[in-house]
Structures are given as C-alpha cells and as structure tokens.
Copies of this chain bind each other. A is one copy, B any other.
C-alpha cells in the first residue's frame, strides 16, 4: 500500500499523453495479458468502490452547485447510478470480508488528494472532470476486472459496464460549449490537464512486478486503449484531446 501511495506522490515514470487522436486503431493493438496486471480481488474492489463513491460525491456536489433546476435534474441520474455502482461493489466486498470499510479506507487519502487536483475551478470544469475522469477510471477498472478470478470478474464487469447516466453531463457540456467558444478553449485545456493525474490513479491500482522496464511494456497497451476512450469523450464534446 505504501508503495502505491508513494508512487502517487512521486511518479518516477513519465506518462506520455497523446495530444492527437492515435493514428492506429486501438482495437488492433495486441491485448495485454491482464491477469499479470490485475491486483488481488479485495483491494481491487475496495479501490473500485471508492472511485464510484467519489464520482457520486462529485456529481452531487455539481448538483448542489448547478445554476438552475433543469441542470440539477439532468445530473440526478449520473449521481444515482454512481451510488448504485458503489453499493453493488461494496456488496461484492461483503461477500469476501466482514468489514468493507476497512478495505476501502486505505484508498481514500490517495483518491481524495487526486480529486482535489482535478476538481476544476468552476462548475463546467467540475462537470468536465467528472465526465472524463470517471470515463477513464470506469474503462480502466473494467479492463482490470477481466483478470479477476471466477464469477466476480463477470459481476464486476456487469456493474462497471451498466449505464452511467453520464450522457446527460456530456449534453450539458456540449450545449455550454456551443454557446461559448471561449469556454470550449478553456475546457479543452482542462480536459487535457486531468488525464495525467487520472492515469496515475489507474497506475496505482495495477499490480506491478517491480521491474520498471517490463512493467512499462505491459502497461502501455492498457493505457493506449484508455486514452483512446478519453479521445472519444473529448471528441463528443467537440474538444481536441
């Protein structure tokens, strides 16, 4: 655990963020053997659960900060669905341990620190952060889930792949960007800004062998796939990733 958070505080591996859409279709990349990267099921569930709780809290915070009732209304579905995913992941944990909170607890300082970094300085930046970072982390934890043992693998994939309700967040942002070109430029910068910190959180969840060179090689295809998903979300908003 200490090593994981040590890593979060002091990244030693530079993460290359593609500034352009990847030229190669990510589907053509060789799939990595995820069993090598997937952490133990219990810490996996603890971290994945807390990520969903964090998404819920950020969307709820955006509901509270929304300028009007229609905007609040459009955010209730993503809040409810993140809460539901959190509760389902905690239920998975409860099948394996008596006290899910004891598993989740150690992940909170790192993720809370991360949340403060990517929160954004206004409502639109906050919404963009939730939309992009939750998208990246959902994709990432879904990929990892395929390396989990037995039935829990399929159940976690089903939980994480269930509707997020975040289409409405994208709609709110698209409309705001269409109406205000300056906002679009600012959000494009912000959208690029949050990726690095999010990939560090993702990396902290990966089981590393201790050999930095081979670890890098194993992780690269996963991150390529994840960044492709990020690029699609930026595209949807009309922003250049």
Q: Which A residues have a C-beta under 8 Å from some C-beta of B?
A: 50, 53, 56-57, 60-61, 63-64, 68-70, 72-73, 76, 79-80, 83-84, 86-87, 90, 100-101, 104-105, 108
A90 to B56, CA, bound (A): 21
A56 to B79, CA, bound (A): 10
User: What are 19 A-B contacts with C-beta separation under 8 Å?
Assistant: A53-B63, A53-B72, A56-B60, A60-B60, A60-B63, A60-B64, A60-B79, A61-B64, A68-B108, A69-B101, A69-B105, A69-B108, A70-B101, A73-B90, A73-B100, A73-B101, A76-B83, A80-B87, A83-B83
Chain A interface SS verdict (over half): helix
Chain B residue at minimal CB-CB distance from A76? B83
- Nearest 5 A/B pairs, CB to CB: A60-B60, A70-B101, A69-B101, A57-B64, A69-B104
Contacts of A83 in B (CB 8 A): 76, 79-80, 83
Contacts of A87 in B (CB 8 A): 76, 80
A49 to B84, CA, bound (A): 21
The winner among A83, A90, A105 for most chain B CB atoms within 10 A is A83
Contacts of A73 in B (CB 8 A): 90, 100-101
Asked whether A57 and B68 contact (CB < 8 A) given A76-B83, A76-B86, the answer is: no
Contacts of A76 in B (CB 8 A): 53, 56, 83, 86-87
A90 to B70, CA, bound (A): 12
A100 to B68, CA, bound (A): 13
